[in-house]
Amino acid sequence: MKTISTRTLLLAALAIAGASAAACQEEKAPLAPAATELKAPEAKAPAAATFAIDRAGSKVELMMDAPKEKIRGRIDGSAEGTLQVDPSDITRTTGLITVDISPLELLQTGVGDDGKPGQEKKSDVQNEHARTWLEISTDTPPDVREKNAKAQFAIKSISTSGEKDLSRLSGPERSITVTASGDLLLHQRQTPKTVELVATFRYEGDRPAAVAVKTVKPFAVGLAEHDVRPREAFGKLAQKTLEVLSPKVAKEAMVSLEFTATAGATPASAAAPAKDAAKDVAR
């Protein structure tokens, strides 16, 4: 019987420790700066028109494409906020979009050994896991859950290679493709983000009455930098890391956004307090 030397055992132990350390280092990607809420950027034009987002018609979709599983997510009717638009110079647009991610619904498609996707289906367990990862599950303290349920995109600047002045375009619908740069808030972590959008303005006479906005292509959101990780419960990380789960769970989500905003409308977030105030007066 061959005897294993102490030196061999020591080298093996060091190799295992090194591999574990490397895995931990890869798992612990630098976290984005902490933040609880983004502020709406100031309007860049004194005459900018305010467009309020129609919450009911908004759509957010995400795709996570891993080798063994594809996950599609959707959040309908949860976006609100305002855009400050200068029709004479669209690059002076600013805005703040806020999405309540609580209604998130995930659908999964398994990929067989032959590389062919199976039937898309909804797993209640997977949806529960997603809420635990995002710390919006029922066992999360209400104040923390409220903060984590808020995702925001603050538009700080706009650029375009096309026409900047909408009055130089014609017709009742006028479309322009722009690149919006700003900050993304997710899971109380803030990252810079650049998103390509197409905005179609609906004109009534010589003034824009509404605008339909949607992403030209999905933008990437990294899970690790926003501290969205496998968790067994609130405050308790799971043993399986993002790296271990990578064959079935992609490390980033590709996000698409679509909404319509109306000129002069009252944002949903501002309408609610107004209602409450009216009730108080009635009393």
Q: What is the CATH number for 73? A: 2.40.128.110
Would you state the structure tokens that stand for residue 169, as one six-digit string?
Answer: 């375009």
- HSE-CB at 253 with a 13 A cutoff on CA atoms is 20
Could you tell me the pTM of the whole model? 0.84
Tens of pLDDT, residue by residue over 43-102, are 999 889 999 999 999 999 999 999 999 999 999 999 999 999 999 999 999 999 999 999
d(CA 31, CA 164): 37
Would you state the structure tokens that stand for residue 64, as one six-digit string?
Answer: 């996570």
Place 12 in a pLDDT band, splitting at 50, 70 and 90. very low
Amino acid at position 100, single letter: D
**Rounded to 5 degrees, what are φ and ψ at 282?**
-65, -35
Place 241 in a pLDDT band, splitting at 50, 70 and 90. very high
On whether residue 23 sits in a domain, the answer given is no
Residue 190 has pLDDT above 60, yes or no: yes
Contact 5, 13 (CB under 8 A): no
pLDDT at residue 5, as a whole number: 56
Tens of pLDDT, residue by residue over 136-156, are 999 999 999 999 999 999 999
Q: What is the mean pLDDT of residues 215-227?
A: 98
On whether residue 15 sits in a domain, the answer given is no
How many folded domains does the chain comprise? 1
On whether residue 39 sits in a domain, the answer given is yes
On whether residue 10 sits in a domain, the answer given is no
How long a stretch of residues is the chain? Answer: 283
